[in-house]
Amino acid sequence: MASLVVSRKDQIIQVAADLFKIRGYEATSMRDIAQQLEIEAASLYHHIKSKEEILEKICFSMADQFLTGIEEVNDIYFSAEEKLRMAIKSHVRVLTGNLSKSTVFLHEWRSLNGEKLIEFKELRDKYEKGFKTIIQDGINEDIFDDVDLKFAVLSVLSSVNWIAEWYRVDGGMTADEIANRISDFVMGGLRKKLVTDPHFKG
């Protein structure tokens, strides 16, 4: 079943993700996807149940990766700052690891319907909660400013998520370099302003 070579189904999903990223889910037709694979649209249905199944597979597989990352970080005992840096690193790695799928995860999930949509939103909230926990830890540890929690989380998530809008694989920055710079940046906004050394770089 699962093998080293990419299954046809996975190929379809990846190609679909690439198109969804560029044109959006609704603007991408099954014939567009098929054309990219040089087959007919009807042939896709021997591998997938429906167009929406493709979207579900993308959204939930990414949700899974993002969640796994932050859960691992929260399981380990570390300082809040260390945790936040690790969480950001994990996030950027997942995101840059599959940019197309990540973009779909971030923007196209609203095309999900019914139970799947509810389920997805729950996972998304769970992920936000993971960051919230870390920042709350930081406030408790007196490391971070006592900023409004929700606001801080949103600021952090906005910084990391916007990467999907501008990151290019050949842009010269590795995932970890980006993660470090973002960490420095948001840390500057969160950390207690006690610094004396002008060359301090966090």
- Least Cα distance to 164 among 83, 86, 108, 85 occurs for 108
Q: Name the residue nearer to a second copy (CB basis): 45 or 151.
A: 151
Residue 99 binds: one of DNA, a second copy, none (C-beta under 5 to 8 A by kind):
none
Secondary structure E strands in the chain: none
Q: What are phi and psi of 142, to 5 degrees?
A: 65, 25
SS (H, E, C) 69-101: HHHHHHHCCCCHHHHHHHHHHHHHHHHHHCHHH
Distances (CA, A) of 183 to 21, 114, 180: 26, 37, 5
Residue 184 binds: one of DNA, a second copy, none (C-beta under 5 to 8 A by kind):
a second copy
Q: Name the residue nearer to a second copy (CB basis): 62 or 190.
A: 190
Of the candidate residues 79, 148, 174, 176, the single one contacting a second copy (CB under 8 A): 148
Of the candidate residues 28, 96, 100, 103, the single one contacting DNA (CB under 7 A): 28
Task: Write out the two tokens for 113.
Answer: 């319907």
Q: Taking CB under 7 A as the rule, does residue 82 contact DNA? A: no
Q: Name the residue nearer to a second copy (CB basis): 2 or 198.
A: 198
In this chain, which stretch among 35-43, 94-102, 165-173, 179-187 interacts with DNA, using CB under 7 A?
35-43
Residue 29 binds: one of a second copy, DNA, none (C-beta under 5 to 8 A by kind):
DNA
Q: How far is CA 38 from the centre of its chain?
A: 30
Distances (CA, A) of 3 to 6, 7, 12, 152: 7, 8, 16, 42
- Least Cα distance to 25 among 63, 57, 49, 47 occurs for 57
Site string for a second copy, 110-139 (x = CB under 8 A): xx----------------------------
Q: Which residues pair with 144 in a beta bridge?
A: 191
Coil/strand/helix, residue 141: coil
Q: Taking CB under 8 A as the rule, does residue 33 contact a second copy? A: no
In this chain, which stretch among 29-37, 85-93, 110-118, 180-188 interacts with DNA, using CB under 7 A?
29-37
Of the candidate residues 6, 10, 22, 40, the single one contacting DNA (CB under 7 A): 40
Residue 30 binds: one of DNA, a second copy, none (C-beta under 5 to 8 A by kind):
DNA
Q: Name the residue nearer to a second copy (CB basis): 86 or 152.
A: 152
